[in-house]
Structure formats: C-alpha cells, structure tokens
Amino acid sequence: MTDETFWCENAWLDGEVVQSVAVSVSDGRITAIETGAPPVASRLLNGLVIPGLANAHSHAFHRALRSRTQRDRGSFWTWRKLMYQTAGQLTPERYRVLATAVYAEMALAGITAVGEFHYLHHDVGGRRYADPNEMGKALVAAASDAGVRLTLLDTCYLRSGLDGAPLAEGPQQRFGDGTATGWAERVDGLRRDVESEAQVIVGAAIHSVRAVPPSEMGIVAAWADTHDAPLHVHSSEQTAEVDECVAVHNCTPTALLRDNGVLGRRTTAVHATHLTDEDIADMDRTATGVCFCPTTERDLGDGIGPATALLAGRGLFSLGSDSHAVIDLFEEARAVELDERLARRERGIISAATLLDAATAAGQHALGWPDAGALRVGGHADLVAVDTRSIRTAGGGATAENIVFAASAADVTDVIVDGRHVVTEGRHVGLPDVGDALVRAIGCQL
C-alpha cells in the first residue's frame, strides 16, 4: 500500500475541531498529523473529518425487513415471525450478496467497522453445510467486498426459551449447535480459517438468556477469555424477557449473566433497556459495556434505556443499527440524547462530544479494534468526511453539535478505511449503485 497524505479542511482531534490538518498514512496506519498544513490538492477532504464510525450491533439479513414490518401494529414477537421467514430463505450465496450490499450501505454512512451478531449458521432443518462455517465466511467475504472491517460475533443459540424448550421447528433450527461445546468447536475452526484476514476478528456472542442455559454460558465466556475476543449478548431488551427470567431464575437477566461469569470488560450487553439499580451497579463494578440501538428500540417499542447512568459507569457505551430500520450512526447518537430529553423533560443532558465518542472510539474498542476510533499517530487510518454545507448542516459550522444533531448518513462524502478510499464523493468505489444492489438482493428474500 502506497504512502498518502490526506488534507482535512477541519478534523476532530482529541475532542476538538482543528482546521487545516494533514494526515499522513502508510500501510493502513496514521504516521503523522500536521496542523496548520497547506492543502494537498490530490487528497482534499472538505467539511469535518471524523474517525471511522463503528456499528457495534448488526444483523445483516434484517435489512430485508425494512418497511415491511411497519405495515401492521404488531409487536416484537410478530416482527420476529417475519424475521424467521426471511432467515429461512437465505443460502450462503444469497447471504453474501445481501450482506455485501448492506455493508456497502454502512460504508456510505461512514461506518468503517461492523459487529455482526451472527446466528444463522446452518442449512434448512439445522443440517450442517460441508463447511460448517460457510454462512460466516459469506459474511467475511461480504465485508471484504464492501471494504469495511468485520468483527464476526459468532453467536451461541441453543434453545427457544427460558423454560428450556428446544429450538422450534423451522428457521430456528438453523441457529443451533446442540451444546456450547459444539458451538466452540465450530468457532475454533472458523477462527483458524480466517486468522490471516487482517480486517476480521472472530468474537463470541450469547444470543440471550432465553437462548443459552446458565450451565452453558460459562463455556462461551471462557472461549472469549481464552482468545482475548469480544463477547456480546442481547440483554434486558423486553420487559417480558425480564419478567420471565425473574419467574424462572428468581433474578434479572443481568444478575444471571453476572452469576455465570459473563459480565466483564470484554463484554457488551446489547440494548440493556430495562435494568434495576442493582443491574447498573453490577455492570459498573465489572466494567461491562453496553450497546444502545435506539432506532430499533423505538421501532420495536422496547422502551428507553438508562443512558446517563450507564455513561457514568466504567464500561464502554457504543451504538448499533441492529435491525437496520435505518443505517445512520448520527441518528443513533442523537437519539440517545433526544430520548433522554423526552423521558426527563430536560435538555443538554449528554454532550455531542460524548455521543460522537460512542459512535467512534467506544464502538471500535467494543468490537476489538483498540487502535481505531481516533485520529492519532499509530492508529488505523479511518477518516470520514462529513459535508458541513449540505441542506441539513449549512450554517451550523464544523462542530460536533452540527454533526451529531443535524447531519445524516447522506452527508458523508468520503470514507477511508485503513488508508483505502472506499467512498469518494458520496459513491462507493467498489459498488457504484448500492441502491440497485439492495433492490436486487432483497427481492430474492421476500
């Protein structure tokens, strides 16, 4: 990879906007940052350049559900029925095509790393493919095609509910590995097969307290510890889940995860919407992170999580687009503050700088990329240029407030991932018509 220098009209450096910044790059890393630098004509990045955004929670195939689940009143559970129908139609080939288009849409939105919460492992009826990780490898190939880094959070999914019922007949059979030990053996093979992929991390996930018995949770957590890998888990998303957990185990989902060794610095609890004071204290004490997905939590009517209490803790606070009702990390970021305003009837609770950090550095770290998410020497050369003169941002200036509270994914003009230009002037370099690719891919699914 050749050495390059990118000149930024404005750049977000160490929590401040700095004008006229030259960022030198070699082998995918930032080698120098010069402020007050003259423009470099061949690599001009206008507007405000921020670090790469991180989508810490994604289900790529859920993109096929966009707008379709809005047709009826429904609930989380009716939404899940349509999701299962979609999962039942995917083959490895179709999944790669769909995920490539979805990840390209993310790249256009300024996302340079995605955490894919991957549980669609096997063929129809739960039959294993000749390569038991063929679906996971389809996602690895898709991320490479789209030009983004991937943390493949391979998900353990063993049962259909807290009552211990087996996986239901139909698409849910495709999710299971029988036991956590069986899951770990399969994921060991995946990790070996992709270890040469510099832009891929294989992490672990426990789908939820519904899907993995307490006796099996420790095996997944131990695998993550052994491999120094991220560990994610859906937790406390629905009040029904919390109530059932209390009824069956006499404790909340967070307490159940705590008692089975799942909480900790490498762990991210996704949603964490309905927490008790004791849950919040446990997460703080263990430095367990959280990932809020406000557009999904709104879409499904989940509720508003305790953002300020969790931001005050020691764990990372990251963001994800989850089911991809929209793919826009600026919208996810501002939603955290705006939901707080509605719940508390106050303004200015969480700063734009804090929200921008959640969308960049915290998310990258939660996905296992500690050298990403900030423009600094030695870090990943991820640069995202946001137009500060668009119809949405004009007059607001090159400020964090303008980016977080006014900009949208459509204002991203250029995206550099590990020193490679993936998006130029609002167009994806490798997939010029992402909209058409999505139409064709989704048309195959529903």
As a whole number of angstroms, the distance between CA 441 and CA 221 comes to 35
Would you tell me how many other CB atoms lie within 10 Å of the CB of residue 241?
A: 23
As a whole number of angstroms, the distance between CA 143 and CA 422 comes to 12
- Please check whether residue 129 is in contact with residue 123, taking contact to mean a CB–CB distance below 8 angstroms: yes
As a whole number of angstroms, the distance between CA 417 and CA 422 comes to 7
Among this protein's residues, is 271 annotated catalytic? yes
DSSP 103-150: HHHHHHTTEEEEEEEE---S-GGGPPPSSTTHHHHHHHHHHHHHT-EE
Q: Dihedrals φ, ψ of 152, to 5°?
A: -85, 100
Whole-angstrom CA distances from 151 to 399, 421, 436 are 30, 20, 26
Nearest CA to 290 out of 234, 332, 346, 246 is that of 234
Among this protein's residues, is 324 annotated catalytic? no
Whole-angstrom CA distances from 37 to 19, 141, 142, 267 are 9, 38, 37, 41
| 4-13 and 16-26 strand pairing | antiparallel
Q: Write b or e for each residue in 308-347: b if 16 or more Cβ atoms lie within 10 A of its Cβ, otherwise e.
A: eebbebebbbbbbbbbbbbbbbbbbbbbbbbbbeeeeeee
- Please check whether residue 5 is in contact with residue 30, taking contact to mean a CB–CB distance below 8 angstroms: no
Question: Measured on CA atoms in the order 394, 395, 399, 401, is the torsion positive or negative?
Answer: negative
As a whole number of angstroms, the distance between CA 83 and CA 230 comes to 26
Q: Choose the catalytic residue: 279, 322, 382, 411.
A: 322
Q: Dihedrals φ, ψ of 305, to 5°?
A: -80, 165
Which residues have CB under 8 Å from 328's CB, separation 6+? 109, 295, 321, 408, 409
Which residues have CB under 8 Å from 348's CB, separation 6+? none
As a whole number of angstroms, the distance between CA 372 and CA 379 comes to 6
Q: Choose the catalytic residue: 271, 324, 365, 428.
A: 271
Whole-angstrom CA distances from 30 to 19, 377, 381 are 18, 5, 5
Residues noted as catalytic: 271, 322
